[in-house]
Amino acid sequence: MINLPESTPPETRLPVVPETIVVHLGAPNQPAENVEIPFSDYIKNVASSEIYPTWELSTIRANVLAIISFALNRVYTEFYPSRGYNFQITNTTAYDQKFIRGRSFFQSISAVVDEIFNDYIRRQGFVEPLSAKFCNGTTSTCDGLSQWGSQEMAQTGYNSMEILRHYYGDDIELVVNAPIQDITQSYPGSPLRLGSVGEEVAVVQTSLNRISQNYPAIPKIKPVTGIFGEDTEYSVRQFQRIFNLASDGVVGKATWYKLVYLYVGVTRLSELVSEGQTFYKVQFQYPGVLREGDTGTEVQVLQYMLAVLAEFDEVIPPLTVDGVFGPSTANAVQSFQRQTDLLPDGVVGEATWDALYREFASLEAVLQQDVARFPFQASELIPSLVDLTLAAVSGHSETPRFGQHPGTDLRLGQSDQQEVSLS
């Protein structure tokens, strides 16, 4: 629990829809132009590049909501700025969504976007827009929405939310009419230093505590108070030395975003960030015995580690990170215990917790070495707690999804309105 001074009440940073978005016209590490365009035009462009304008209205709405949610997740988590880039998303399908500069918009798609561009989907009980994976479902497949599959469902009578719940789970919900405003980055705007007080200081302290799990030379700050004292200054200096930053004990912009980058990078799946694992709330210390019926943050952390391992080990069943230790969590714990020669009782004592964390940490190390698709040059790699490939966390296929699109043969007003009713 973060204990802040009474004069500084903690606030939850709620997502907003940006007025504009900066798109990099290439892969993240590729020199290319950045373009800033209205957010709604960006969504129209991507949707016009991804799906048929003659598809069912519920298909178009479902796909547009997935596109919006993915883009907002990129913006909200500061996915690229935290990695030192001066843009919010790329136009490359290996990492993000397809954007074609200067392309025309289809009328049916444009009308839908105008109606819902400030709506998005998220997991129930959480804040972040869902990082909604999708693919065409024919030449490329993924663990997310199938574009052609969504059309088939719509033709049998499914509405847009039924389609989305089919692919993303029953625990998603629709946020409507989110506020629209200029986006400011999470950096407080001025450096944090000895004597600083507030929520931003608590973010720094808890981030350092998590990173110290992998870098013991960084001393933990206990308790987390939101007050920048000498212990925090010393921990910041140690962090800066390890990651080749100016060791001045001051959290400027470079140090702040290095903390964000390292912490957000702890997940393989950006959905796990989207499902409430905000970088200033997760702690990995053994919380005491956990068993079926327990609830709370400690259970979320347990589920989070199991969920990450389940992505790589089919023996561990997938589960939802919801903070409720129910039968599915117990089953996942038992599966892990069996393959690690622990008593498969479904109860998480210290031995099970430590074994689970060791497996989780070792997976991080393996992923750190997997640089085949890493978007930076090898010389730019840092010894982070885990440096994941952007392609892995995006969940988008490297195969362009234009096989299903008629391309330049379609023009605004051609057959669009003949086959799709917007009423």
Which segment of 30-34, 242-246, 291-295 scores lowest on mean pLDDT?
242-246
For the chain, give every residue range classified as CATH 1.10.101.10: 272-367
> Rounded mean pLDDT of the chain?
75
Query: Average pLDDT, stretch 52-68?
Result: 95
Write out the DSSP string of 300-319. HHHHHHHHHHHTT-TTSPP-
Q: How far is CA 254 from CA 73, 271, 366, in A?
A: 22, 26, 26
pLDDT tens for 200-235 read 898 888 788 877 766 778 898 988 888 999 999 999
Higher pLDDT, 350 or 416: 350
Statement: 272-367 belongs to CATH 3.40.50.2300? no
Write out the DSSP string of 32-81. --EEEEEHHHHHHHHHHHHS-TTS-HHHHHHHHHHHHHHHHHHHHTTTTG
E strand or H helix at 23: strand 20-24
Return the structure tokens found at 302: 């347990």
Helix/strand number for the chain, H first, E second: 14, 9
pLDDT tens for 234-258 read 999 999 988 788 899 999 887 887 7
pLDDT of residue 357: 83
- Pairwise CA distance, residues 160 & 71, whole Å: 19
pLDDT of residue 6: 34
- Pairwise CA distance, residues 106 & 112, whole Å: 10
The 10 Å Cβ neighbour count of residue 266 is 24
Task: State residue 393 phi and psi, 5-degree precision.
Answer: -75, -25
pLDDT of residue 306: 87
- Pairwise CA distance, residues 34 & 88, whole Å: 10
Does the structure show a pLDDT above 60 at 396? no
